[in-house]
C-alpha cells in the first residue's frame, strides 16, 4: 500500500527509461530531430510554461514517432 508519507524508489519500478531533453512547444519536427541529434537524447519532452516559476510537460516526442508518422 502506497502512502504519501512513504518514499518510493522509482528506479525499482520496471520500466524502459529514456535519455530526455527539453524542447519548446513551438518547435518544428525538424527542430525536434535536430535537438535529438545534437543532445543524443532518445526522446524530447515538450515543455510549456505560462509562468516563469512553473514548467509543465505537454508530451513526449521520440525519433521513431516522428519518422513513422510524418514525411520529412
| Consecutive H or E run containing 46 | strand 43-51
Q: Would you list the domain boundaries of the chain? A: 18-69
**Cα–Cα separations (whole angstroms), residue 70 to 16, 26, 38, 45:** 24, 17, 20, 18
For residue 62, the model assigns a pLDDT of 92
For residue 22, the model assigns a pLDDT of 93
Cβ–Cβ under 8 Å, residues 11 and 20 = no
First to last CA, the chain: 47
pTM, 2 dp: 0.71
For residue 67, the model assigns a pLDDT of 82
pLDDT (tens, 9 = 90+) of the chain, 72 residues, equals 556 778 888 889 999 899 999 999 899 988 999 999 999 999 999 988 777 788 789 999 998 888 887 776
Amino acid at each position: 500500500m502506497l502512502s504519501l508519507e512513504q518514499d518510493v524508489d522509482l528506479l525499482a519500478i520496471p520500466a524502459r527509461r529514456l535519455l530526455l531533453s527539453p524542447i519548446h512547444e513551438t518547435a518544428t519536427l525538424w527542430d525536434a530531430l535536430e535537438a535529438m541529434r545534437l543532445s543524443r537524447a532518445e526522446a524530447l519532452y515538450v515543455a510549456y510554461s505560462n509562468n516563469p516559476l512553473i514548467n509543465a510537460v505537454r508530451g513526449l516526442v521520440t525519433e521513431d514517432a516522428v519518422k513513422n508518422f510524418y514525411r520529412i
